[in-house]
């Protein structure tokens, strides 16, 4: 009976894989040969991965959209498919777009996740609220590949909860045809340069925007001092006049089409823009910047901790880590994956600034206290709504009053009509 269930289990797993993934059954050997050209996966310890085979386990992975190699390009690995094939554990893979969305889903209860990949400040918040649990690093031997620079980060000082997945820095992307400056001379004050009024884009989220103002003021990026926050907000308000718009992923189109000249952006995505546009350049200011890290964690509510750790370990297999970083284009904290990259990428000061710069000049976000968060949020709203205050104030009440009036009118009319109908 047990055997039958096991057989059924593997059959189900096999069925759930889309075509192209050969199963373990030897009869299908020729099919395996067919696909082996594209897939060159070797793992360090195959025995480790087959422990749960046939138990019909499944894990729920919650990741950013477009943040894993899917095998859509020829010759790349379908990471989740490979994991299922190797371990017999089914991966339920779902996506989110913001850290806050992830937090809400986790906090709300109901949905059980086994592996999540939040960013730095969100991790420290989750650790504080006991939403994630300590990892058993005996089950994650591949953690040894992680570079020293990315261990014991500020959000997880003991490195008990996280395995870093990707990282990147924030820099400035600009149009070289209109801005004739040496890379060395590019600094954050370019975003405040009046000469380029209405050609500047800015982050549309308070934390990233404040970080740039704080960098210019020389404050810590994790400052909670109300005075310093106000000072930073003052700078942002000065900038507002010359900012064309506050955007997030519209940067791709606006910079690509030449609608704007300067924008702050994340290194990995900026490189994607540069690929299509020779006129654009991206520089990480030497004076310092924010370093962001997305790391893998296991929520406290996970019911498959060991399988989840197996997944995390799998993501740290050199071949897999390389496939992912090659797809995502962010920077990797994984030594072996880094070594497999093209020399051009490895030497790039954008993707991989030298380690002294990372150690001395970059800061990782940690979670701010509730008061500091509130303060920042209110300063941000105040800054953004500063000018159109007069029009804004009246819209909501007027709209509400109009709605109520219309409703009353309709009700009265209906009442009169009903009375007429009765007689």
Least distance (Å) between residue 20 CB and other proteins: 7
C-beta of residue 142 within 8 angstroms of C-beta of residue 317: yes
Examine residue 72 and tell whether it contacts other proteins (CB under 8 A).
Answer: yes
Residues forming beta bridges with residue 119, ordered by sequence position: 294
Least distance (Å) between residue 268 CB and other proteins: 9
In the set 50, 92, 287, 355, which binds other proteins (CB under 8 A)? 92
Site pattern 111..130 for other proteins (x: CB under 8 A): xxx-----------------
Task: Pick the closer one to other proteins by CB: 159 or 302.
Answer: 302
Task: Pick the closer one to other proteins by CB: 134 or 256.
Answer: 256
Give the CA-trace dihedral at 299, 304, 306, 307, to 10 degrees. -110
Task: Pick the closer one to other proteins by CB: 210 or 292.
Answer: 292
Task: Pick the closer one to other proteins by CB: 350 or 379.
Answer: 350
Q: In whole angstroms, what is the distance from residue 184 CA to residue 176 CA?
A: 14
Cα separation values, 321 from 47, 165, 325, 374, Å: 20, 8, 6, 38
Least distance (Å) between residue 372 CB and other proteins: 24
**DSSP per-residue codes, 226-241:** HHHHHHHHHHHHHHHT
Determine the interface stretch with other proteins among 27-35, 49-57, 72-80, 228-236 (rule: CB under 8 A).
72-80
Site for other proteins in 210-239 (CB under 8 A): none
* CB neighbours of residue 115 within 10 Å: 25
Q: In whole angstroms, what is the distance from residue 374 CA to residue 192 CA?
A: 26
Determine the interface stretch with other proteins among 24-32, 108-116, 216-224, 354-362 (rule: CB under 8 A).
108-116
Residues forming beta bridges with residue 263, ordered by sequence position: 173
Site pattern 145..174 for other proteins (x: CB under 8 A): ------------------------------
Examine residue 71 and tell whether it contacts other proteins (CB under 8 A).
Answer: yes
Query: How many residues in the shown chain lie near other proteins by CB under 8 A?
Result: 40
- Six token digits for residue 361: 């000049």
Closest by CA to 141, choosing from 42, 41, 45, is: 45
In the set 7, 25, 97, 408, which binds other proteins (CB under 8 A)? 97
Paired sense of beta strands 262-266 and 163-175, if any: antiparallel
The H-or-E segment that residue 340 falls in is: helix 335-340
The H-or-E segment that residue 273 falls in is: helix 267-276
C-beta of residue 110 within 8 angstroms of C-beta of residue 35: no
In the set 36, 50, 94, 287, which binds other proteins (CB under 8 A)? 94
Q: In whole angstroms, what is the distance from residue 223 CA to residue 376 CA?
A: 10
Examine residue 67 and tell whether it contacts other proteins (CB under 8 A).
Answer: yes
Closest by CA to 164, choosing from 183, 178, 176, 148, is: 148
Least distance (Å) between residue 152 CB and other proteins: 27
Task: Pick the closer one to other proteins by CB: 77 or 358.
Answer: 77
Examine residue 70 and tell whether it contacts other proteins (CB under 8 A).
Answer: yes
Site pattern 12..31 for other proteins (x: CB under 8 A): ------x-x-----------
Site for other proteins in 241-300 (CB under 8 A): 248-249, 252-253, 256-257, 269, 272, 275-276
Q: In whole angstroms, what is the distance from residue 319 CA to residue 268 CA?
A: 20
Least distance (Å) between residue 248 CB and other proteins: 8
**Interface residues with other proteins (CB under 8 A)?**
18, 20, 58, 60, 62, 64-68, 70-73, 78, 80-81, 92-98, 108-113, 248-249, 252-253, 256-257, 269, 272, 275-276
């Amino acid at each position: 009976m047990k055997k039958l269930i096991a057989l059924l289990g593997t059959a189900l797993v096999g069925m759930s894989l889309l075509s192209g993934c050969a199963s373990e059954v030897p009869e299908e050997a020729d099919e395996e040969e067919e696909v082996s050209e594209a897939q060159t996966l070797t793992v360090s310890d195959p025995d480790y991965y087959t422990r749960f085979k046939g138990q019909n386990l499944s894990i729920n992975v919650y990741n950013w959209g477009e943040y894993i190699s899917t095998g859509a390009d020829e010759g790349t690995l379908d990471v989740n498919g490979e994991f299922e094939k190797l371990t017999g554990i089914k991966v339920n893979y779902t996506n989110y777009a913001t850290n806050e969305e992830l937090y809400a889903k986790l906090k709300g209860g109901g949905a059980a996740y086994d592996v999540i990949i939040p960013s730095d400040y969100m991790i420290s918040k989750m650790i504080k609220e006991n939403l994630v649990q300590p990892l058993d690093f005996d089950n994650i031997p591949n953690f040894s590949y992680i570079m020293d620079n990315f261990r014991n980060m500020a959000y997880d000082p003991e490195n008990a909860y996280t395995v870093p997945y990707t990282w990147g820095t924030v820099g400035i992307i600009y149009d070289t045809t209109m801005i004739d400056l040496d890379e060395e001379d590019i600094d954050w004050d370019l975003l405040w340069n009046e000469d380029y009024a209405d050609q500047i884009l800015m982050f549309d989220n308070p934390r990233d925007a404040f970080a740039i103002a704080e960098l210019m003021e020389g404050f810590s990026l994790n400052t909670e001092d109300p005075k310093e926050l106000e000072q930073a907000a003052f700078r942002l308000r000065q900038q507002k006049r010359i900012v064309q718009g506050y955007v997030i992923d519209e940067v791709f189109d606006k910079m690509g089409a030449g609608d704007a000249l300067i924008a702050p952006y994340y290194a990995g995505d900026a490189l994607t823009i540069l690929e299509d546009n020779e006129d654009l350049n991206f520089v990480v200011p030497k004076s310092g910047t924010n370093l962001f890290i997305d790391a893998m964690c296991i929520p406290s509510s996970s019911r498959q901790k060991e399988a989840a750790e197996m997944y995390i370990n799998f993501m740290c297999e050199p071949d897999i880590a390389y496939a992912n970083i090659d797809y995502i284009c962010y920077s990797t904290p994984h030594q072996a994956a880094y070594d497999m990259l093209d020399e051009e990428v490895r030497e790039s000061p954008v993707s991989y600034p030298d380690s002294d710069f990372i150690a001395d000049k970059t800061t990782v976000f940690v979670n701010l206290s509730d008061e500091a968060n509130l303060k920042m949020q209110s300063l941000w709203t105040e800054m953004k709504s500063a000018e159109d205050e007069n029009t804004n104030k009246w819209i909501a009440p007027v709209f509400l009053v109009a709605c109520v009036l219309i409703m009353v009118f309709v009700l009265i009319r209906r009442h009169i009509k009903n009375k007429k109908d009765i007689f």
